[in-house]
């Protein structure tokens, strides 16, 4: 039996860096998600790959939002097949590094800075 692979071209770098990407080949399993592939890459190929997730199942935390083939998706619910895909960060949020963008809502960010909840007034 031959092993099938998924192919991901992933945007790399931080704000102000020249555009760059890395290509990865990942062992393919039926039903695997883009997040499954990113986790495999970080564990087996490049521990410096930056991406964010929390719940790993079906858009509960919404931290895994990225672009796949120029469409905004949840990495944990977007299924892969053996067709090559391009993966990048959200374009409407401030880029931090690789696939990580600043997705904390402004009110929550202020609350973190102040160390206390911000009132709704
Ligand atoms: S990891 Fe939580 S919504 Fe995708």
pLDDT, one tens digit per residue, over 79-121 is 999 999 999 999 999 999 999 999 776 666 667 677 776 665 5
The C-alpha atoms of residue 90 and residue 62 are separated, in whole angstroms, by 12
This prediction has a pTM of 0.85
For 47, the token pair is 């521990």
27, containing H or E segment: strand 20-27
User: Which architecture, in CATH terms, is 5-114?
Assistant: Roll (3.10)
Closest C-alpha among 118, 117, 89, 115 to residue 102: 89
51 lines ligand 1 (CB under 6 A): no
How many angstroms separate the alpha carbon of residue 62 from the centre of ligand 1?
A: 5
What is the CA(1)–ligand 1 centre distance, in A? 33
Considering only residues 11 and 19, tell me which one the structure prediction assigns the higher pLDDT.
11
Q: Give the pLDDT score at 113.
A: 73
CB 64 near ligand 1, within 6 Å: yes
Q: Which atom of ligand 1 is nearest to the CA of 53?
A: 1
């Amino acid at each position: 039996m031959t092993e099938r692979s998924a192919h991901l071209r992933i945007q790399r770098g931080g704000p102000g860096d020249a555009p760059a990407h890395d290509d990865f080949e990942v062992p393919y399993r039926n039903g695997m998600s883009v997040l499954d592939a990113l986790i495999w890459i970080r564990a087996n190929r490049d521990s410096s790959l930056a991406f964010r997730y929390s719940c790993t199942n079906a858009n509960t935390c919404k931290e895994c939002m990225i672009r796949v083939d120029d469409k905004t998706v949840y990495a944990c619910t977007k299924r892969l097949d053996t067709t090559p895909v391009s993966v990048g960060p959200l374009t409407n949020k401030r880029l931090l590094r690789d696939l990580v963008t600043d997705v904390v809502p402004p009110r929550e960010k202020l609350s973190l800075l102040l160390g206390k909840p911000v009132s709704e007034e």
